Amino acid sequence: MFNPDAPAESTDAVLARQSTLNQSTRGQWNLYRSHREELEKLLVPSRSGGRICVLGAGNCNDLDLRWLLQVYRLVQLVDLDGPALERAARFQKVAEAPALRLRGSIDLTGIAARLGAWEKARPASPADADVQACLQAASAPADTLAAALDGPFDLVLSPCVLSQLLTPIRDVLGANHPAHDPLLAAVRRRHFQLMLDLLAPGGRAVFACDLFSSATVKDLARAPREELPGLLRKRVAAGRHFSGLDPASIQAVLTRDRLIAPQVATVRHAAPWLWHLALSKTYLVYALTFNKTSAPASRPASSPDAAPRDIGGE
């Protein structure tokens, strides 16, 4: 966690929010089927016997754990909400599988405790010492956490979790707060650095992202698949998407960030699809896959990257 001396209730506030979300979707295995199948296409290994790590696995409604355990020799699931992982393993009847590793109580942001405290007293300025400490923590190298998660892995999956990591920043500070964009950028960079730190040289990462929903796009659930790329471009051009998570912004982090780019090879884009989260809500999802370079890259000193270029919102 960001600050081991922070009151437990600070982190608990963020955990409680995530736990509530997980509880609200825990019974939606059947609704996730098409979304789960789209992710599975991206997770097929080039050969069996590898290791996979899933960041923000939650209820695992988007993961067929039985299939993963057949094609990977080790499956590690990581989430802040440990009980959600345990329920998922029991539901899919793999709780006793020796190749399954559950890692709960893992704060992927590095700042959950601080964000929880800000729900009671929001900092007024980016110059606030608390904001600066938070930025420093979010910008710190992720290699210590990666080592604790027992890498390296052949494949690392981020299944629509980055938006969940960033939402508390928006909810606590507000999208117009001057500290919002720098914090968003720092947590975003940390997420990709963690993925790379967890990967073996030459390993592959899959990043899936929910970009906007039927809450702002009428009849999104019935949009034909062939129209989704054009709809994505139109919404991004209008700034009507989750700030800083559009494909161009993520591509920029992977290919132009001085810390990330030297470690990244072969970025590929997957065609967008629809994720029917519930009967009343649908998300547009896109995915990027990228490989870690085979040769280790020298790492410059860490510093926050630029604020996201596209500031819009769901």
Per-residue pLDDT at 255 exceeds 90? yes
Residue 133 falls inside a structural domain = yes
Residue 170 falls inside a structural domain = yes
Mean of the per-residue pLDDT values of the chain: 86
pTM: 0.86
Give the Cα separation of 139 and 191 in Å (integer): 10
Per-residue pLDDT at 158 exceeds 90? yes
Give the pLDDT mean for 219-235: 96
Residue 3 falls inside a structural domain = no
Residue 257 falls inside a structural domain = yes
Residue 287 falls inside a structural domain = yes
Confidence of residue 161 (pLDDT cuts 50, 70, 90): very high
Residue 134 falls inside a structural domain = yes
Give the Cα separation of 287 and 277 in Å (integer): 17
Residue 302 falls inside a structural domain = no
Cβ atoms of 45 and 70 closer than 8 Å = no
For residue 278, how many other CB atoms are within 10 A of its CB?
11
pLDDT at position 5 is 35
> When comparing pLDDT for 281 and 14, which is higher?
281
Q: What CATH code is carried by the domain that includes residue 274?
A: 3.40.50.150
Domain extent at residue 229: 8-292
Per-residue pLDDT at 37 exceeds 80? yes
C-beta pairs of 256-261 under 8 Å, 24+ apart in sequence: 257/189, 257/192, 257/305, 258/300, 259/189, 259/193, 259/299, 259/300, 259/302, 259/305, 260/189, 260/192, 260/193, 260/196
Residue 298 falls inside a structural domain = no
Give the pLDDT mean for 80-96: 96
> In the chain, how many domains are there?
1
Confidence of residue 285 (pLDDT cuts 50, 70, 90): very high
Confidence of residue 305 (pLDDT cuts 50, 70, 90): very low
Name the nearest CA neighbour of 32 among 155, 157, 159: 159
